[in-house]
Amino acid sequence: MSFKNATPEEAGSLANLSGKVALVTGATSGIGEGVALALAFAGAYVVATGRDEKRGRETVRQIEAGKGKGHFDKLDVTVEDDWKRVVADIQKRFGRLDVLVNNAGRGVRGPIETIPMEGHWFEIHLNIEGAFLGMTYAWPIMKKNGGGVVFNMNSTAGQRGGSGSICYGGSKGGMLGLTKSAAAAGRKDGIRVISIHPGNTWSPGMQALVEVSEDEFFSKDRNRSIPAGMPARAADVAVPIVFLASDAARHITGIEFNIDGGQSAR
Amino acid sequence: MVDLTRRSALGYTSLALSVCGGASAVLAATNVKVLAGKSVLILAPDESFTRDVASALTTHGANVTVVSPAELTDDAWGAALLTGARKPGKSDVVVNLCMPRGGGAVGEIGLAEFRRVLEASYGRAFLGVKYGIMYLRAHGGGSLVNVTSADGLQGNPKAAAASAASSGMIIMTKSAALECAAAGDNIRANGLFVGDVVRGKPKQGQVTVEDVAAAIAFLSADAASYFTGVVLPVENGGMPL
């Protein structure tokens, strides 16, 4: 077996993040859930956030089942008051925030001529402004404690575009510029900002989009353009995040890290 | 501390490594034996940087061997890694260390100097990739990590030839990754582009051999089995200190 997908436990074994506090948005399912689990398994205290309280509590249950620590807090990343409340609560409870994962995001798909202006604004609000608000409110608390790490969940569509998702690619391209500028600004404040670019990754959101079974999504025929021969799983996205969140990666910032089984090497 | 035992004209160096005293603060904070039970083979010019990286890798649980073929020829590298009497045993990870130096500004050097730098660095890097892959194939696969200078990520007005050699490593790494994936030979190939590495106590922002070793360990970890063709910069975002 050549290439293989990671599990959240394996991702969590890459670094010791004990003593660190992490906030993950969109932690209620998919990639966000996998990242929240892996960070917790690496020893970080995880504030798992999202709009769906029931699914958020399920993420926390899995964290605790794996001997990790964390809690759920309700957060819609497009609502500024939510950010104020959640970050103030973190300040009160822990006095620190070491890792922010701006993960919440979604794509509007369809031919360009069918996408209404609302579709464009939806992507801008969710993908760009969500990350902007997250950094705006996390920055002071990170800066005060000597630094931190921000991960902005992008996509290979943010680097190369993607057919059938013009607004998604556009918003992710904007998000990449936002991330690079934040990384430059973070230099003097000790805050590292990193862009994460998953390619085809299995998640409930992806399943709803592609409308195929898990077996079909992982089939050899469907993944011939991926050198690794298979799509990613949520835990594969967590692998670089766990390492890059650790102090051992203190000189790594402003980069684009692809989770695409070697696809972008072409 | 590193106990070096020099062997043979092929440049085979057997390292008996044991780390005394405390690891760096970063490693202490990390404190995870990502490479526990793995053997690492470093292909490197014979220099102290190699010994320091080897030593740092042992703190991640690796057993390390260094091979430094003396000549830049296929015969020398084949003998050192594949056919010679003292070819190394099985390793799971091959680290191809190549930090190009020199060359001066484009307007200052002649073709002879440009070729000299390219052969010594990029030529050696090619042999490291080629024989690193052949070695891993002979042992059932593994992780190849090319380590080179961050000069390859952007221009350097004072070291045009060295920058060219380093930047070549970006695409050579990706090509190797694609070649190995297509061959289905169980080899992942990734690259590490590091800024100026300091020995001893670093000033703020300076990269240490421990930082290099941690990134090698990450790219070679079992948990990273989905990754190939990754080019990872370790250079503070390319921004001046």
We report the CATH number of the domain holding residue B186 as: 3.40.50.720
For residue B212, being part of any structural domain is answered with: yes
pLDDT, tens digit, 9 for 90 and up, residues B95-105: 999 988 877 88
Number of domains, chain B: 1
Q: Is residue B222 less than 8 Å (CB to CB) from chain A?
A: yes
B8 part of a folded domain: no
pLDDT classification of A242: cutoffs 50, 70, 90: very high
Query: Is residue B181 assigned to a domain?
Result: yes
pLDDT for res B18: 38
Nearest to A2 among B31, B175, B186 (CB): B186
**Contacts of residue A57, Cβ cutoff 8 Å, sequence gap at least 6:** A72
Say what the pLDDT of residue A197 is.
98
Exposed, middle or buried: residue A36 (CB in 10 Å: 0-12, 13-18, 19+)? buried
Q: Which residues of A touch B (CB under 8 A)?
A: 1-6, 10-11, 13-16, 183-184, 187, 192, 227-230, 232, 236, 239-240, 243, 246-255, 257-259, 261-262, 264-266
pLDDT at B9: 36
A168 given a catalytic annotation: yes
Q: What is the reported pLDDT for B239?
A: 67
Among A15, A252, A265, select the one facing B233 at the smallest CB separation. Answer: A252
Q: Token pair for residue B36?
A: 């526990």
| Domain assignment of residue B25, yes or no | no
> Which one from A137, A168, A202, A257 is the annotated catalytic residue?
A168
B221 touches chain A (CB under 8 A): yes
Within a 10 A sphere around the Cβ of A229, how many other Cβ atoms?
A: 16
Considering the domain boundaries, does residue B17 fall inside one? no
Say whether A2 and B230 touch across the interface (CB within 8 A).
no
Chains A, B: CB pairs < 8 Å: 132
B154 touches chain A (CB under 8 A): no
Q: Are residues B207 and A251, on separate chains, in Cβ contact within 8 Å?
A: yes
Question: Does the residue B88 lie in any domain?
Answer: yes
Asked if the Cβ–Cβ distance from A255 to B237 is below 8 Å, we say yes
Distance (Å, rounded) from C-alpha A90 to C-alpha A21?
Answer: 9
In this prediction, residue B45 carries a pLDDT of: 83
Q: B57 lies in which domain range?
A: 35-236
Phi, psi of A113 (to 5 degrees): -75, -5
From CA A202, how far away is CA A205, in angstroms rounded?
8
Q: Which residue of A has its CA nearest to B209?
A: A248
Question: For chain A, how many helices (H) and strands (E)?
Answer: 11, 9
Region A65-80 average pLDDT = 98
If you average pLDDT over residues A138-167, what whole number do you get? 94
Over residues A91-115, the pLDDT tens digits come to 999 999 999 999 999 888 888 899 8
| Domain-located, residue B23 | no
Q: Write out the H or E segment, with its range, that includes residue B70.
A: none
Assign 3-state DSSP to chain A and report helix, strand, coil percentages, each to 5: 50, 15, 35
Burial grade of A51 (CB within 10 A; 0-12, 13-18, 19 or more): middle
Q: What integer pLDDT is reported at residue B200 of this predicted model? A: 74
CB B17 within 8 A of CB B2: yes
pLDDT confidence tier of residue A12, bands split at 50, 70 and 90: very high
List of domains in chain A = 8-121+129-265 (3.40.50.720)
* Average pLDDT taken over every residue of chain A: 96
**Closest-approach residue (CA) in chain B for A260:** B227
Q: Do the chains contact at B226 and A4, CB–CB below 8 Å?
A: yes
User: Across the strands, what pairs with B141?
Assistant: none
* Per-residue confidence (pLDDT) for residue B19, from 0 to 100: 39
Flag whether B174 is in a domain.
yes
Regions of chain B with pLDDT less than 70: 1-30, 239-241
Please report the beta strands in B50-186, taking only residues with DSSP state E, as ranges in sequence order: 63-67, 93-97, 142-149
Residue A165 neighbours by CB distance under 10 Å: 21
Instruction: Please choose, from the candidates A31, A14, A21, A63, the residue with its C-alpha nearest in 3D space to the C-alpha of residue A152.
Output: A31
Residue pLDDT, tens place only, A174-223:
999 999 999 999 999 999 999 999 999 999 989 988 899 999 999 999 99
pLDDT value at position A165? 82
Alpha-carbon gap: B157 to the closest alpha carbon of chain A (Å): 22
* Backbone angles phi and psi of A59, in degrees to 5: -60, -45
Of B4, B129, B5, B11, nearest to B70 (Cα)?
Answer: B11
Helix (H, G, I), strand (E, B) or coil at B69: coil
Calculate mean pLDDT across residues A53-67.
98
